[in-house]
Structure 1
Amino acid sequence: MKNHKFSINYGFTLIELMIAVAVIGILAAIAYPSYMESVRKSNRAEAKTELNDVAQRLQRCFTAFSAYDDANCSIAGNISKGNTLSTENNFYSITGVLTATTYTLTAAPQSGSYQVGDGDCTSFTLTQTGAKDATGARKDDCW
C-alpha cells in the first residue's frame, strides 16, 4: 500500500470572499433605502399625533373661552406669534395661525432632524374644521 499525503485546505479563496462581499453589498443597497423610508414613515405618525393633540387642546380653549386665541389659553401662546412646539422626539415643530374662530396648525420637520430629507410628506396641516393636508411628492398618501 502506498502512502499518499492529502492536503486539506480549510477556508475561503479570495474569489469566494469577494463574491460574498458583493452579494452583501447588493443586498444592503436594496434593503437600506427601504428601511430608511420605513423609519421616515413611522416618524410621520409623531407629527400627526401632535397635531391632533394640539387641536384637541385648542377645542377645549374654545369651549372655555369662546376663542382659540384667548390669552388664557396656554397652548395658543405656545404655537402662535412665532412660537413653536416641538414634538416628543424633536422630529417636527408645530406652529399655528390662530384667530378667535379659526386655526391652522402646521407640523414641519425640525432642522437637523432626519425628517428634513422626507420628500414624500414634507409638512402636515390641520384646521379647526378637521381638514387635513400635506405637502410633498406623495401628499395625498400622508394622512
Structure 2
Amino acid sequence: MKPLWAGFSFIEMIITVAIIGALSAIALPSYYQYLRETRRTDAYIALTLAAAEQERAYAINNAFISDISALGGSLSKEGFYTLSVAVSGASYMLTATAIPNKAQGTDSDCLILTLNHQGIKAPTACWR
C-alpha cells in the first residue's frame, strides 16, 4: 500500500538549503574575482589603443599628445576606468584608474594600471 502523502520532509529541505548555501559561499567569491579580472580587459584595450595613437603621433609630429581626449577620451569603452596621460619630453605615461562606484572599483589589487612609452606595464601581476 502507498503512503497517503509524497514529497520532501522539512529536514530534507533544510539540508538541501544548507548544501546550496555552502556551495554558494565557496563559488561566489571566485566568480566575482573572475569578473574583476575579465573587466580589466577594458583598461588593457584603452591603454593599448592610446599607446598606439601616441606612437602614431610621435612618428608624424615628433611629439607625444598630452590631451587624453585626442587619444580616445577620458573614459574606457565599457566605462569601468578613467584614463589620463602625462607627457614629459620624449616620454609618456598612460594611466587607467578604476571608477570607485562602478563594479571594478572593488578590484583593490589593480585599481590603477599604467603603460609607458617603453611598453612597461604596471603592476605586472595585473597584466595578463
Same fold at TM > 0.5 = yes
Q: Secondary structure at the match of 1:85?
A: coil
Q: Highest relative contact order (Cα 8 Å, sep 6+), 1 or 2?
A: 2
The reply to whether residue 50 of structure 1 matches residue 46 of structure 2 is: yes
Per the alignment, residue 105 of structure 1 pairs with 94
Bigger-Rg structure (1/2): 1
Q: CA deviation at 1:12?
A: 0.7
Structure 2 Cα separation of the partners of residues 100 and 64 of structure 1: 16
Give the letter for the 2:77 counterpart: E
**Structure 1 spans left out of the alignment, 5+ residues:** 70-75, 135-139
Q: Secondary structure at the match of 1:27?
A: helix
- Structure 2 counterparts to residues 61-80 of structure 1, below 5 A: 61-69=57-65, 76-78=66-68
Change (3 A) 1:6 1:67: closer
After the TM superposition, which segments of 4 or more aligned residues of structure 1 sit over 4 Å from their partners? none
Give the letter for the 2:61 counterpart: F
The reply to whether residue 117 of structure 1 matches residue 101 of structure 2 is: no
Per the alignment, residue 55 of structure 2 pairs with 59
TM-score (norm 2): 0.89
Q: Secondary structure at the match of 2:21?
A: helix
**Structure 2 spans left out of the alignment, 5+ residues:** none
Conserved 8 A contact 2:114-2:122: yes
* CA-to-aligned-CA distance 1:57-92 (integer Å, 9 cap, x gap): 0111111111003xxxxxx42359xxx611111111
Q: Secondary structure at the match of 2:115?
A: strand
Change (3 A) 1:12 1:100: same
* CA-to-aligned-CA distance 1:108-143 (integer Å, 9 cap, x gap): 101311111112222111110111112xxxxx4211
Give the letter for the 2:21 counterpart: G
Structure 2 Cα separation of the partners of residues 114 and 36 of structure 1: 10
Conserved 8 A contact 1:87-1:93: yes
